[in-house]
Structure 1
């Protein structure tokens, strides 16, 4: 079923509220102050029984310039506008400002309603209508129906109702498959029921009993009940105005401008990248870092605008900008927004959100600007690629990508496969969840990694490489999860970028190379260890045999790194050949005798108790053997 929301727009005291009262028989001025002053201050909501039997939600917005922010909160979710113009005054300042806002928010269907026709004669009415036609020439209201009515005498109301009914047939059905989103325009408490929020569902659907999350606070609560058009219902979906009774949350925890959605589907941000249209009617150029007010959904936030592609924005120009917000904004890509000057307040522009969770951008950066251009004008695959590229630093999983896109899994499945197939996106199975990385991100990391390894190999020609932990911290950062890091290293090894040996990383074509002197030292060290078997030489004794202490240290460390020599304990090393023989002796002895003591191990090795004990404790540490009183068994 298609759901339609109608909104009014127009200058103060042009009869918007009276028109809705005459059409629906219901009052939208509910505040005491509104009744006393005779103007709408807050948003008014009711529903309209159309001649065809359908129901449409209807929003009455205030016309006074002081309450434009309330008008913006209401108008953001409408499908059809009633542009109300009083016959006795014609087009006025708030008529124009409201209309500019409608265009900025991409409202494309409307009816021009000329009210108070009982106050003027036919000649005056004809002149007013001619002026109206000139005012809206070249806009979406150029060919809109013009209905002449009097809310007081009821003249023209039936014709207006039929026009509304006819135009609602052409309203596109909203996306009920997307993520549920409801920008909150009112919050109140009802005795016996608790907290109630109202708003227009702009995408997806919600059912009674579902758990929802309030953004940006991320407070979790439950849908206790849903009301639409004064009726209790089980479900609300895109395009419907509804009231939602929430359990387990206080009214003080929710504000107008908050967004109700499902858990972990939105990511509030203090920075958003946008395409801005600066109105021709703006009084002066927009300066970089100028303070403005941004209106999105039902929220109003003060921010500074960083102009990315030009020095300043002149009236009538478009620009890529980044808004740096004083409070978090919860938005999605392609959402519309409006900006007003900070003081004095007037509407100066608006546009679309390109990146709802942006990183701090530099001005005049061609790569950044081109990226925004692709995201703005590109197809789903281009946008998907840009999102993954932007998220790669945080090693995104599928749910992170969907959250950033505001789309469901089905809608990106084919595009994601294409990007993987053509090598643009790299898939890594990092533990429980698959991680998606852009090739450019990985190539940047490879460049850094290769630079580090080249410098290391140059400075340390005998070392087999850098420890994996050091590479992890220097190249990928301490926050990367170990399983993801292991997957990246495996991928790079399979791609012949690096070699890994034990816990070390080296360039693929690197081999430690000894010069003649170093090779002589190497042979001498290995010869001494081979000669002395299980009573190995001390480091200090070996070092004293070599004049070049620095070269000796480098060679000795390289032999340990390569595991030609195995470190057993402080100042105790063993030739790897004898290390393996010692293991075999333990295995065979225990198989024959059930266990082995230190004395028995000493005798088998033909060494001293000191070395036998140190070696056995080493075997305990690596869980090769296990101590049982004064004997060892295999672990």
Structure 2
């Protein structure tokens, strides 16, 4: 029986040895522990992927390790999830990585999930009820509040029918990722296949791609064309955001590509070190992040040491929301709206996370007039491509912006950009300056007022002169054009 593929990826989360991998195997028939060391040690240490049939749909599922030493790997896997199965063993209950994984999922913006209470064959019925009550308390105030808590046994199969029904309901609640943006795949791993060459695997976060498309690996800047696409382990003519995929570009060297790199379309992204972000800090005892303090910064599948700078007053310490800027020790690839996780270097623990607003060329001065207001406007704009295009034109440093500049900053493909620009022109929000160059009407009005003020002040200062020369006016405005 064939099933319709949908670009949704579910994932597991939870403490070590709570039955995540066994649950995935029961749901999919796939053994996601692929490394010899995983089989020898009896625990997951890397990410595992499998196709999963839910009702009449085929989705992807990613299995993450639960050991505290591999939280960084868990973050890389969770970054591609649309919904989660939080796995808790009935004989163990809530454990440290249960709590940390739940914090990470929340900070990464995941909004859909359920709880699987595993190993119920090992405990008495009253202990199952106590474990359910403990879990209901744990998830209060999180995105899992009110979600199903389903007792199951990976040994006897008890509880699997209700679990499958709940998964159908879960998948129906999830909106698949957009496929209209700039294709981008944070790399999980790269390997070589005899007869094909290099294969890059991961879960795309945006857009779609087909064999023959020109792509680039960053930060290495290797260019090439897709030769072959596999989705859920089968050849496909298209890969979409949210699908577990393997992409073949034969002539690349697989040893030179690894987790944390990015496969995308050429011309839209570049390795950057400075990012302005909105941070949510978790409650932690005696936590103080001083200006320039060292943290571990995770986004997509990348992780890197970084320095944190508060754009408000004082240090980052009390739980709550902050506008910050991050300087990564080595450049990474990230886009507006990407989620991130912050962890301490010692002790290694998750302290917060949030959303990247945008890459910036240099450190911002927090004393700059109206900086916070401008960043709040930018943060609101990135959630919608049309709003962000308009913002990019309004905020252009040279007053006007070209289509190429807008496309790169807003990460919008040419056809979609033309739709947005045409709509903004019809709404009379833009002024076409020349072919492919635009001025926002608010900017034009502000510029006219500024010029008028300069001229009036000139007449007040030198009433005997009839006016200003063009060069004098240009110098007074400090505009390049």
Runs of 4+ with >6 A deviation:
444-447, 464-468
Report the Cα distance in structure 2 between the residues aligned to 1:282 and 1:257, rounded to whole angstroms.
Answer: 31
In the alignment, the residues of structure 2 paired with residue 86 and residue 273 of structure 1 have an alpha-carbon distance, to the nearest angstrom, of: 39
Task: Work out which of the residue numbers 33, 46, 49 in structure 1 matches 2:37.
Answer: 33
Is 1:387 aligned to residue 395 of structure 2?
Answer: no
Counterpart for residue 23 of structure 1:
27
Residue 46 of structure 1, aligned match among 47, 50, 53: 50
Q: Please report the TM-score for the alignment, with normalisation by the length of structure 1.
A: 0.67
Which residue of structure 1 aligns with residue 421 of structure 2?
Answer: 413
Distance 1:411 1:118 in 2: 58
Larger RCO, structures 1/2 (Cα 8 Å, 6+ apart): 2
For structure 2, the residue ranges without an aligned partner over 5 or more in a row are none
Structure 1 window deviating more from structure 2 (164-173 vs 220-229): it is 164-173
Q: Deviations over 1:94-139 (max 9, x none)?
A: 0000000110011111110011111111122211111111111222
> In the alignment, which of 2, 5, 8 is matched to residue 6 of structure 2?
2
**SS of corresponding position for 1:36:** helix
Task: Name the SS of the counterpart of 1:361 in structure 2.
Answer: coil
Using the alignment, how far apart are the partners of 2:285 and 2:353 within structure 1? 12
Are residue 291 (structure 1) and residue 294 (structure 2) matched?
yes
SS of residue paired to 1:263: coil
Q: Which residue of 2 aligns with 1:82?
A: 85
In structure 2, what is the equivalent of residue 169 of structure 1? 172
1:465 is displaced (CA, Å) by 6.8
Matched, 1:401 2:406: yes
Q: Is the 8 A contact 1:445 1:475 kept in 2?
A: no
Alpha-carbon distance, 1:9 to partner: 0.2
Worse-superposed segment, 80-89 or 395-404: 395-404
Q: 1:445 to 1:291 in 2, by over 3 A?
A: farther
Once the two structures are superposed, the pairs formed by residues 196-345 of structure 1 within 5 Å of their partners are 196-281=199-284, 283-345=286-348
- 1:196 deviates by 0.7
CA deviations on 1:227-269 (whole Å, 9 max, x unpaired) are 1122111111122111001133212342212222212122432
Check the 8 A contact 1:282/1:315 in 2, yes or no: no
Please give the per-residue CA displacement for 1:11-70, whole angstroms capped at 9, x wherever unaligned.
1111111111122221111111111111111101111123x2321111010111111111
Summarize deviations over 1:438-476 as a string: whole Å, max 9, x none. 8659949987xx79xx8xx99xx9xx97989xx79x956
Normalized against structure 2, the TM-score is what? 0.88
Q: Secondary structure at the match of 1:144?
A: coil
Question: Which structure has the larger Rg over C-alpha atoms?
Answer: 1
The aligned runs of 1:179-578 (5 Å cut-off) are 179-281=182-284, 283-378=286-381, 383-393=388-398, 396-407=401-412, 408-410=416-418, 412-413=420-421, 416-417=424-425, 421-422=428-429, 427-429=432-434, 433-434=436-437, 436=439, 443=447, 488=481
The structure in which a higher percent of residues are helix is 1
- Call closer, same or farther: CA 1:115–1:410 in 2, change over 3 Å: farther
Residue 200 of structure 1, CA deviation: 1.1
Taking structure 1 as reference, are residues 40 and 445 closer, same or farther at Cα in structure 2, changes over 3 Å only? Answer: farther
Deviations 1:508-528 (A, max 9, x none): xxxxxxxxxxxxxxxxxxxxx
Aligned length: 467
Q: CA RMSD in A?
A: 3.2
- Indicate the residue corresponding to 2:125 in structure 1: 122
